[in-house]
Amino acid sequence: MTPARDGNPVVTIEAPKTVATGVAIPIIMRVENTSGEALELYLHGREATYDFIVTSADGDIVWRKLDGEILQAILRVEVLAPGQELEFRHSWNQRDNSGKRVAPGSYVVRGILLGEGSSMLESPAVAFRINRK
């Protein structure tokens, strides 16, 4: 893992490299404090609010976990001790935000932890492929 820079935690995301059509895709985002000091994160919601965004190979948004959701206007402080991490999991059912099954092909997923100012954190993008059965 890359060390924290400027007091910011390291954000990573995991998804399978390939998956068959129709199979739910597990997505995991981790936010880890790799520094030697406690970090305060100012986050949205009673529970930390996060989003996963899937885009097509050409960059068009196909699906967002939070699409159409009403977000709580609550601010919470999460303190990450050195070495501590937060983990966020979700399964994507290979349907776009209108409910239509997506075509086989190449896609990219990234995760965002919603917060105030510099507490908004985004993972690097990870590519995956949906193959025909």
Q: What are the tokens at 45? A: 């919601």
pTM given for the model: 0.87
Quote the CA–CA distance of 90 and 26 in Å, as a whole number: 6
Tell me what pLDDT residue 7 has. 64
Quote the CA–CA distance of 50 and 90 in Å, as a whole number: 10
Question: Are the C-beta atoms of 67 and 112 separated by less than 8 Å?
Answer: no
Tell me what pLDDT residue 105 has. 96
In 1-125 the beta strands, taken as DSSP E runs, fall at: 10-14, 18-20, 25-32, 39-44, 50-56, 61-64, 75-80, 85-92, 105-113, 121-122
In the chain, which residues have pLDDT < 70? 1-7, 117-119
CATH class of 10-131: mainly beta
Tell me what pLDDT residue 70 has. 79
